[in-house]
Amino acid sequence: MAQVVLENIYKSYAARKGERSDASVAIEPLVSPVDETGLIAGLPSSATTAVSVLRRINLTVQDGEFMVLVGPSGCGKSTLLRLIAGLEQLTGGNIWVGDALVNDLPPKQRDIAMVFQSYALYPHMTVYNNLAFGLRRTQSGIRIKSSQKLPGWVENMAVAATRSLPKNLRYSSQRERAVDQRVRTVAQMLQIDPLLQRLPKQLSGGQKQRVALGRAMARNPQVFLMDEPLSNLDAKLRAETRAQIVKLQRQLGTTTIYVTHDQTEAMTMGDRIAVMNAGQIQQLATPLELYNRPANRFVAEFIGSPPMNFLTMQVKSDRLLAHSHFHLSLSPAWASVLQQYTGRSLLLGIRPEHLNLGDANEQHLPVQVELVEALGNETYLSTTFEQSLAKTDLDLLPGMLHARIEPDQTVRVGDALWLSIQMDKVHLFDPETGMALRAQV
C-alpha cells in the first residue's frame, strides 16, 4: 500500500495547425507552459500550439484512501489516471507512488492496476484464466516463502511426469498453487466463483465488470486506478456494484483513485473528492464539505441534484438583498460580506431542497409552476417567477427555479405559489469570480 502524490502536474498535447480546442480545454501558445514548468519537451516541432489538458494539479492521496475524481466530460480525468498509470507522458510535474518517483517508470514497474470502463477481458480465456493471467506473468500478488521453494527442475520434472494423469492427480507447481489460491479468494470476494470456467461472452455486463475488478485485485497492487468502471451497468446493478467496490476497498485497504462523472457515485464512494473542471482541480474535500461549503459556483452547481438555483441580487445594505420579485434579510453573520458589496450585485445560491412552500410574503418568491415531477418519495417542481411581474423586468428573469417538496403536498402545473428560502442554507458568490463568500461563524 502506498500514498500517491501528484506534484504540479501539467499535460499538453500538440495541436495541429488551425486546430481549435473544445470549450473545456484551453489552447495556449507553447511559450506559456514552458515558462510555468520549464518542461514541454517531446512535442513535435511542427506544432504551433499546445492543447493544455491538465494544469497545476496538486493532490496527495493518502495510503489506503478512496479518492474520487469527478468532473464533466472532457475535463481531464482519464488523462490524469493514464498519467499515473504510466500510459501517457507527463508534460510537467512529478508523480510519487510511495517513496518512488515514477515519472519515467514503465506501467509494469509502477505496481498499479487499472480498471477501465470497457472491461477488456481476454475473450478466448475462461474467467479463471483471465484472473490468473496477470499473476502468472508478473510476480506481484504471489508470495511463496523461500524456505518452501523447490528447485525449478524438480518442479518441472514432477509436472511433466504427471501430465497424462487425471487432473486431480497431476502435480502443480507451488507457484501455480499460489496462483490458484489467490484466484479463488478473489473470486469468492466478488462472488464470481461459480463462473470461473465460463468465457467472457457467457457473462452479463455486471459479471464481466466484476471479473475485470477481480483481475486488478488479484494482482494485489499498491494502487487501484478505476476509470468509470460502472458506466456500462444498469442503475440497479450499478448501485450494487458501487457498494461492493467500497466494501472491498475497505477490506483490502488499497489506495484507490476512482474516476466518474456521476456525482452520486462520487458522493457515496469517496473518502474525499477532487472536483475537476477544464483541467484543474476546483475543490478537494469530503463529500459533505463539498455539499455544505462549495468553494465556487462551479462546485456548487456540479454537486447536488437537481443543481443549485442561482439568482442575481442587489445588495442594499449590510442586511438586505433585493431582487425584483422579493427581498431577503440575512443574518448578522453576513454583515461584513454584504458591507463590501453594498450597491453592487451578488449571486445568491439556494438548493432545491432548501426551498419550501410558503405564504404570501415579500421575503418569499412568487412563482408559477411549469412542471411537476412526482417521484413518490419526493416531488420536484420547476417554476418561473410569475409571468405578470417577469414581463416588466425581463433581464432579471432567471431560468427555471427548481424546488423539492414533500410528496403529500398537491401542486399542479399552472399553480401560482410562494416559495420560502431556508435562510441558514443560503450561499453567496462573487458574480465575477464565482468564488464563494463566507459568513462569519
Taking the CB of residue 179, how many other CB atoms lie within 10 A of it? 22
**421 counts as binding ligand ATP under rule CB under 6 A:** no
Cβ distance to ligand ATP smaller for residue 44 or 151: 44
Cβ-contact 308, 390 below 8 angstroms: no
Q: Which amino acid is at 327?
A: H
The residues facing 274 across adjacent strands are: 69, 284
In angstroms, the CA 292 to CA 300 distance is 9
Cell of 18: 488551425
Sort strands 223-227 and 112-115 into parallel, antiparallel or unpaired.
Answer: parallel
| Nearest Cα to Cα of residue 396 among 348, 350, 364, 357 | 348
Considering only residues 10 to 69 of the shown chain, the ones binding ligand ATP according to CB under 6 A are 13, 22, 24-25, 51, 53
In angstroms, the CA 217 to CA 142 distance is 12
**91 counts as binding Mg ion under rule CB under 5 A:** no
Interface residue with ligand ATP, options 6, 52, 61, 76 (CB under 6 A): 76
Cβ distance to ligand ATP smaller for residue 74 or 352: 74
**274 counts as binding ligand ATP under rule CB under 6 A:** no
In angstroms, the CA 53 to CA 24 distance is 9
Q: Which stretch binds ligand ATP (CB under 6 A): 41-49, 71-79, 212-220, 245-253?
A: 71-79
CB of 133 to Mg ion, least distance (A): 25
Cβ distance to ligand ATP smaller for residue 26 or 400: 26
**277 counts as binding Mg ion under rule CB under 5 A:** no
Taking the CB of residue 313, how many other CB atoms lie within 10 A of it? 23
CB of 211 to Mg ion, least distance (A): 21
Cβ distance to ligand ATP smaller for residue 75 or 275: 75
Interface residue with ligand ATP, options 37, 49, 52, 79 (CB under 6 A): 79
**260 counts as binding Mg ion under rule CB under 5 A:** no
What order do you get walking across the sheet with 355-358 strand by strand?
355-358, 416-421, 365-374, 379-385, 401-405
Sort strands 280-285 and 309-315 into parallel, antiparallel or unpaired.
Answer: unpaired
Interface residue with Mg ion, options 37, 49, 52, 78 (CB under 5 A): 78
CB of 260 to Mg ion, least distance (A): 9
Residues that bind ligand ATP (CB under 6 A): 13, 22, 24-25, 51, 53, 71, 73-79, 261
Residues that bind Mg ion (CB under 5 A): 78
